[in-house]
Chain A
Amino acid sequence: MIIQALAFYLFALTAIAAGVMVISARNPVHSVLFLILAFFNSAGLFVLIGAEFIAMILVIVYVGAVAVLFLFVVMMLDINFSELREGFLQYLPIGALVGIILAAELILIFGSWVISPEAAQSIAAPSAAPSELTNTHALGRLIYTQYVYLFQAAGLVLLIAMIGAIVLTLRTRPSVRRQRIAEQVSRPVEDVIEVKDVPTGSGI
Chain B
Amino acid sequence: MNLAADISIAWPEIFVAVTAMLLLIFGVFQGNQSARLISWLTVGVMFIAAVLVLSSHSGRTVAFNDLFVVDAFANFAKVLLLLGAALTLILAMPFNAREGIPQFEFPVLVLFAVLGMMMMVSANDLISLYLGIELQSLSLYVLAAIRRDALRSAEAGLKYFVLGALSSGILLYGMSLVYGFAGSTGFDNLAAVFAAGDHDGAPIGVIVGLVFIIAGLAFKVSAVPFHMWTPDVYEGAPTPITAFFAVAPKIAAMALFVRVMLEPFGDLFEQWQQVIWFISLASMTLGAFAAINQTNIKRLMAYSSIGHMGFVLVGLAAGNETGAQGVLLYLTVYLFMNVGTFACILAMRRQGRMVEDIDQLAGLSRTSPKMALALAIFMFSMAGIPPLAGFFGKYYVFLAAIQAELYTLAVVGLLASVVSAFYYLRIVKLMYFDEPLDAFDQPVGKEISTIVIGTSAVTALFILVLWPVLGSAAIAAATLFAV
Contact = CB atoms under 8 A, between A and B. Distances in A.
Interface of A: 105-106, 108-110, 112-120, 122-125, 146-150, 152-154, 156-157, 159-161, 163-164, 166-169
Contacts, number: 123
Contacts of A159: 21, 112
Given A122-B192, A123-B183, A160 B139 contact: yes
A122 B195 CA distance: 13
Contact of A116 (B128, B142, B157, B181): B181
22 contacts: A109-B177, A112-B204, A113-B205, A114-B205, A115-B180, A116-B193, A116-B197, A118-B183, A118-B193, A118-B196, A122-B182, A122-B186, A124-B66, A124-B189, A149-B67, A150-B67, A150-B131, A156-B17, A163-B108, A166-B105, A167-B148, A168-B148
Describe B's contact surface by its main secondary structure. helix
Given A112-B203, A123-B184, A105 B109 contact: no
Describe A's contact surface by its main secondary structure. helix
A149 B68 contact: yes
A122 B189 contact: yes
Contacts of A164: 109, 138-139, 141-142
CB-based closest 8 A-B pairs: A119-B183, A164-B142, A149-B64, A122-B189, A122-B184, A153-B131, A160-B138, A109-B205
A113 B208 contact: no
A101 B134 CA distance: 29
A168 B145 CA distance: 7
Contacts of A106: 208
B145 A156 contact: no
B128 A150 contact: yes
A167 B105 contact: yes
Given A109-B208, A150-B128, A163-B24, A156 B112 contact: yes
A138 B41 CA distance: 41
Kindly name the residue among A106, A156, A166 whose own CB sees the greatest number of chain B CB atoms within 10 A: A156
Contacts of B157: 168
A124 B183 CA distance: 8
Contacts of B141: 164
Interface string B103-128: 10100110010011001000000011
Interface string B65-76: 111100000000
Interface string B1-12: 001001000100
Contact of B127 (A109, A150, A160): A150
A122 B24 contact: no
A89 B455 CA distance: 51
Interface in B131-173: 131-132, 134-135, 138-139, 141-142, 145-146, 148, 157
Contacts of A157: 131, 134-135, 138
Contacts of A146: 65
Nearest to A171: B148
Given A116-B181, A149-B68, A168-B145, 20 more contacts: A105-B208, A109-B177, A109-B205, A112-B203, A112-B205, A113-B180, A117-B196, A118-B193, A119-B181, A120-B183, A122-B189, A148-B3, A148-B64, A149-B65, A150-B131, A159-B21, A163-B108, A163-B109, A163-B142, A164-B139
